[in-house]
Amino acid sequence: PSPPDGKGEAHACRAGVCVDATLVILTLSQFSAGAASGSYELHFTDGSVDTGAFVADVCGNTTMCG
């Protein structure tokens, strides 16, 4: 669930230790009525960085699922 303020959160858990993201960069490369795709870059409090790509279905008008 999202925090009450409506802002999202990101965490990474490795070997039972969870760290918070301090910076999230989300880049949309394609967006249509049915799907969105792009890339992400997550910076964590332990100095690690995760990057990757995503594809998500678009539900209704603007809500993304996936």
Once rounded to an integer, what is the mean pLDDT over residues 24-43? Answer: 91
Q: How far apart are CA 28 and CA 39, in angstroms?
A: 7
Query: Residue 30 corresponds to which amino acid?
Result: Q
Q: What is the pLDDT of residue 52?
A: 96
Q: What is the pLDDT of residue 60?
A: 65
Q: How far apart are CA 54 and CA 24, in angstroms?
A: 14
pLDDT at 50 over 90: yes
Share of the chain above pLDDT 70, in %: 77
Q: Which residue has the higher pLDDT, 43 or 31?
A: 43
Q: Which residue has the higher pLDDT, 13 or 8?
A: 13
Q: Which of 29, 27, 19, 15 is nearest to 49 (CA)?
A: 19
pTM: 0.68
